[in-house]
């Protein structure tokens, strides 16, 4: 029963962490209306969460070793519950941003606890399976958040989303105290200069998050303050690296992180997170642009949920620490095929036509994350316990920044292509063309019973024609986005396969030389 309890608590923690992120991020268009905010202002909600979540691990892992992770979980969850309860009494954007920042801190404790509880829920020989499952539960929250969002928004508008988060956080707080993890030896980890590194590193990463999340809304070259944020981020991150390079016991092992193996792993994580943005920015962005809401996307969300479950089961049963690149290679091929399939979209495409492609991407996403975690975690463990902090920070920051970079890149690409296609379409819409004139008369006829002035009816007909042109330009732009994702996935696949083949060849050469040396 103890194993089952640990497993159940791991699922609860993982789902709570995932829902805390996805409930708000997937409903920003609806939340911004109730907050009276513009799109760029609502984007600060995601920025605040990502900035704290990507950086707090720098101290959280050391806190766990020195004081115990349960205390950190109590502090993180308690902070979030208090701030969220206070936020229910307010209706302004600033307090909402404060809550998202607190949720990012709490999520770091939740994700780590979900991993540790799942590792303790399986026999020691099955620890890779426990690790794979522990990091996978949060992925189920992406489709689940879309399934429950409509009901929550009807209950209490955007406050309903926070009520669920608060309830789940209270359950997590009770669970980790009723069924604590086995005690671990505590080691004095903190040094005074750790806080100097954090004071430089955390704002630097936070400023990068600001640039990536706000760039496409205020436009990259039209807002000088974005450039200053980027300059400040580079200076702060460079200063934190210099501080760490001159420490005997660094918080971040920069030399190890800059080794060829770790740099390749970081690049692969970043690129993979970019191509995985096909689902959130690409498919769901396209369907929302076509006028769909969460209620109309329920079928697609259920397909994604069960595809994710299937991916979690497959990777848990087949994960092999010696061949961690295999799931990633399979995932990249699936994403490339799905994205190319989606590139054939039209304005008549509905969620039913995307079941197969989005199911494949959900399955692929479940394959990649455990493989990436196991690849980096095993490297850190070979170096020593203190290297876990460095890997956890880079893995978390890579995931967060990669997701933001993917949204920024694909969102910018979509906007650029939409403007280009709109210009091409509008150039050909001239009233001297008989087909265009007939279409305007057709649209104007819809107002025959309400407008008696022919000039006004024609103006309305022209306005409707412009809306149709914009819609078709948007469809063409999203098709280009899907093609780019397919090509990028194949390029990452070739890069990762080349690394795999080179490592296999190196291993064969080493094995061939070993008997000769022994003789």
Q: What is the pLDDT at residue 518?
A: 47
Instruction: Report the b/e string of 19-52 with b at 16+ CB within 10 A.
Output: bbbbbbbbbbebbbeebebeebbbbbbbbbbbbb
Whether 368 and 265 have beta carbons less than 8 Å apart is answered as: no
What is the per-residue pLDDT across 232-241, written as a single tens digit (0 to 9) for each?
Answer: 989 988 888 8
Q: What is the DSSP letter of 35?
A: H
What pTM did the predictor assign?
A: 0.82
- Tracing tokens 């890069």 back to the chain, one arrives at 495
What is the per-residue pLDDT across 241-265, written as a single tens digit (0 to 9) for each?
Answer: 888 787 777 767 777 777 777 777 7
Whether 308 and 143 have beta carbons less than 8 Å apart is answered as: yes
Total residue length of the chain:
519
Six-digit token pair at 464? 């409707």
Residues of the chain falling short of pLDDT 50: 517-519
What is the per-residue pLDDT across 311-369, written as a single tens digit (0 to 9) for each?
Answer: 888 888 887 777 777 888 888 888 889 888 888 888 888 888 888 888 888 898 888 87
Distance in angstroms (rounded) separating the CA atoms of residues 58 and 193 = 13
Residue 235 belongs to what H/E stretch? helix 224-245
Distance in angstroms (rounded) separating the CA atoms of residues 498 and 59 = 36
Residue 147 belongs to what H/E stretch? helix 141-156
What is the per-residue pLDDT across 492-513, written as a single tens digit (0 to 9) for each?
Answer: 888 888 887 887 777 777 777 7
Distance in angstroms (rounded) separating the CA atoms of residues 114 and 2 = 15
Write down the H helix ranges in 319-433. 325-342, 355-383, 387-428
């Amino acid at each position: 029963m103890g194993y089952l309890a640990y497993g159940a608590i791991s699922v609860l923690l993982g789902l709570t962490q995932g829902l805390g992120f996805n409930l708000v991020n997937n409903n920003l268009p609806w939340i911004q209306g109730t907050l009276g905010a513009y799109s760029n202002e609502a984007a600060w909600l995601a920025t605040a969460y990502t900035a704290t979540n990507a950086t707090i691990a720098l101290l959280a892992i050391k806190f766990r070793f020195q004081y115990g992770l349960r205390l950190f979980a109590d502090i993180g969850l308690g902070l979030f519950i208090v701030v969220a309860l206070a936020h229910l009494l307010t209706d302004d954007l600033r307090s909402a941003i404060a809550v998202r920042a607190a949720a990012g801190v709490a999520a770091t404790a939740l994700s780590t606890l979900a991993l540790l509880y799942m590792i303790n829920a399986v026999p020691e020989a099955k620890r890779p399976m426990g690790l794979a499952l522990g990091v996978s539960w949060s992925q189920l929250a992406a489709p689940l958040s879309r399934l429950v969002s409509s009901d929550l928004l009807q209950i209490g508008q955007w406050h309903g989303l926070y009520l669920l988060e608060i309830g789940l956080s209270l359950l997590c707080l009770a669970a980790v105290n009723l069924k604590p993890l086995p005690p671990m030896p505590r080691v004095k980890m903190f040094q005074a200069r750790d806080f100097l590194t954090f004071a430089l590193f955390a704002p630097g990463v936070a400023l990068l998050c600001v640039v990536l999340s706000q760039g496409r809304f205020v436009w990259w070259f039209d807002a000088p303050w974005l450039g200053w944020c980027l300059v400040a981020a580079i200076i702060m991150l460079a200063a934190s690296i210099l501080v760490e390079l001159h420490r005997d016991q660094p918080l971040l092992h920069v030399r190890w992180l800059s080794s060829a193996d770790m740099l390749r792993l970081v690049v692969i994580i970043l690129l993979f997170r970019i191509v995985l943005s096909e689902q959130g920015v690409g498919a769901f962005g396209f369907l929302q642009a076509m006028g769909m809401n969460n209620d109309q996307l329920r079928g697609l969300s259920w397909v994604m949920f069960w595809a994710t479950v299937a991916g979690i089961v497959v990777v848990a049963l087949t994960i092999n620490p010696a061949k961690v690149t295999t799931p990633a290679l399979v995932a990249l091929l699936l994403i490339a095929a799905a994205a190319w399939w989606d590139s054939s979209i039209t304005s008549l495409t509905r969620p039913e036509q995307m079941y197969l492609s989005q199911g494949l991407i959900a399955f692929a996403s479940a394959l990649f994350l455990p493989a990436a975690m196991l690849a980096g975690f095993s490297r850190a463990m070979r170096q020593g316990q203190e290297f876990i902090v460095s890997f956890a920070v880079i893995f978390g920051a890579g995931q967060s920044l990669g997701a933001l970079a993917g949204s920024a890149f694909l969102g910018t690409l979509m906007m650029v292509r939409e403007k280009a296609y709109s210009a091409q379409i509008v150039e050909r819409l001239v009233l001297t063309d008989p087909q265009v004139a007939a279409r305007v008369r057709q649209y104007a006829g819809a107002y025959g019973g309400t407008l008696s002035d022919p000039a006004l009816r024609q103006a309305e007909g022209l306005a409707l024609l412009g809306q149709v042109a914009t819609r078709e330009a948007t469809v063409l732009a999203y098709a280009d986005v899907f093609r780019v994702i397919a090509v990028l996935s194949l390029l990452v696949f070739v890069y990762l396969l080349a690394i795999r083949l080179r490592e296999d060849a190196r291993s064969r050469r080493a094995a061939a030389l070993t008997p000769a040396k022994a003789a």
